[in-house]
Amino acid sequence: MSNPFSYEDKRVVVTGGATGVGAGLLDVLAEQGAAHVTVLDVKEPNGPHQTFLQTDLSDRAAVDAAIAAIDGPVHALFNNAGVADTMPPQTVISVNYLALRKLSEGLLERIPEGGAIVNTASIAGGQWPQRLEMINEVLDLGGDWDVTLAWLDAHDIGTAPYFFSKELVQVYTMRSSRPTMAHGVRTNSVCPSPIDTPLLKDFRATMTDKIIDWNIEQGNGRAVTPREVGLVLAFLGSDAAAYVNGVNLLVDAGFTAAMTTGQVDFAAIS
């Protein structure tokens, strides 16, 4: 009997594979027999991989060069890299949204039917309905790097750049899932709550310890681990998720469900 979770004979691309969720994903992919893994990052990963392309994902030219250097086919693209608001707003939007979109669209023709694009979003993007008109305005710019950054400079987005970037990713995941499915390629995202990675200290610096700790307490009392997120990413990229498309999958121990149904204690952060 075949294993639908297996990555045997599959070629995979992972962004942000050096640390955190990306490093956890590399271990999971190796356990599932991935035939070839290419990592795009500024720092070479220690985890299992075959090819490393040193890539500054905030630099459009570097992303274009990586796309040109990647050998096909690409059975699964994991757009996992991300930065926090400790970085400049244009860097946040570039890494978290523009590079993700450029890679997805630039590699689509190299993804065979049955393949997948999986984006790492966040529960921080869950307020997208409040800004949907603005988000669609940005998405309608077509991912043009310079035009999008100029738009960002000229508008008050009403939230932190990191939150807006993840709102863009959630809506882009939904919007792009139909045209990618026309190529036989599924597009989904994972939306984790705070993750126990080195980046968590940056979120504590920008969102405060109080907010982060409250979010964790109102989940199940601990941060999600990189491996736990990596397992869900790997599932969405595998044949086991063959009929899953256009989904922003929550990985938050029920925090969003509790908040939606009025079971979260907001008094704890007052």
Tens digits of residue pLDDT in 53-82: 999 999 999 999 999 999 989 999 999 999
Question: What local confidence, expressed as pLDDT, does residue 104 receive?
Answer: 98
The residues of the chain scoring below 50 in pLDDT are: none
Question: What local confidence, expressed as pLDDT, does residue 83 receive?
Answer: 97
Q: What is the CA radius of gyration of the chain?
A: 18
Question: What local confidence, expressed as pLDDT, does residue 142 receive?
Answer: 98
Question: What local confidence, expressed as pLDDT, does residue 269 receive?
Answer: 84
CA–CA distance, 217 with 203 (Å, rounded to integer): 16
Q: What count of Cα atoms within 13 Å lies in the side-chain half-sphere of residue 231?
A: 5
pTM higher than 0.85, yes or no?
yes
Tell me, what DSSP letter sits at residue 25?
H
**Cis bond before residue 179 (omega within 30° of 0):** no
Q: How confident is the model over 80-115, as pLDDT tens digits?
A: 999 999 999 999 999 999 999 999 999 999 999 999
Question: What local confidence, expressed as pLDDT, does residue 1 receive?
Answer: 57
Angle formed by the axes of helices 132-139 and 161-181, nearest 10° = 60
Question: What local confidence, expressed as pLDDT, does residue 2 receive?
Answer: 87
Among 122, 117, 140, residue whose Cα is nearest residue 85: 122
Are residues 190 and 170 in contact, defined by beta-carbon separation less than 8 angstroms? no
Contacts of 180 by beta carbon, 8 Å cutoff, 6+ apart? 104, 108, 117, 186, 187
